[in-house]
Amino acid sequence: MKKDIEIPEVKGVFVVAIEEVIKNTNQTEWSVYLINENQVELETVIIVSEGFSASKKTSTLRKKIDKLPPKSFAKIENIQEELFGFTNQFKVSYFKDNQLFDKTFVFASKSINSENLRSISLLEKKGILAV
């Protein structure tokens, strides 16, 4: 039965970490965003995030987004710098055209840092892409 369930490859959906300046301050914070670069809306998006190392684990966070329009993005959560040494994963499930899609996006340990920034066109900012 399980072999009959086909979950297609995720395309045009990304998880990114962005370093942002907090309004009216000189301080920065890191935020994680979900990006939909597809031409169609994503529906019933469920995100489950957690971080872990060899000896520690963070609490599991869950977020639901009812609809994510085409060519748009949504903030998932802020991520504290203390967690950059952890492997941080974001399990994303959603429906597109009445079909279920699922992918786990991962920020490897110590991959969230200023040296790994690249241009994220839809956000018009620099960020780090989860793999």
Asked if the structure places residue 42 within a domain, the reply is: yes
> Range of 26's domain?
2-110
> What is the chain's pLDDT, residue by residue, as a tens digit (131 residues)?
566 677 789 999 999 999 998 888 889 899 999 999 999 999 999 999 999 999 999 999 999 999 999 999 999 999 999 999 999 999 999 999 999 999 999 999 999 998 999 999 999 999 999 99
CATH number for the domain that contains residue 57: 2.60.40.10
From the CA atom positions of the chain, what is the Rg in Å? 15
What pLDDT was estimated at residue 2? Answer: 63
| Residue 124, in any domain of the structure | no
What pLDDT is recorded for position 23?
86
pLDDT number for residue 1? 57
Residue 123 located in a structural domain: no
Diameter of the chain measured on Cα atoms: 56
By the 8 A CB rule, do 20 and 125 touch?
yes
Counted residue by residue, the chain has a size of 131
Q: How many domains, in total, are found in the chain? A: 1
Query: Is position 25 within any domain?
Result: yes
Residues contacting residue 104 through CB under 8 Å, at least 6 positions apart: 89, 90, 91, 92
3-state secondary structure of 108: coil
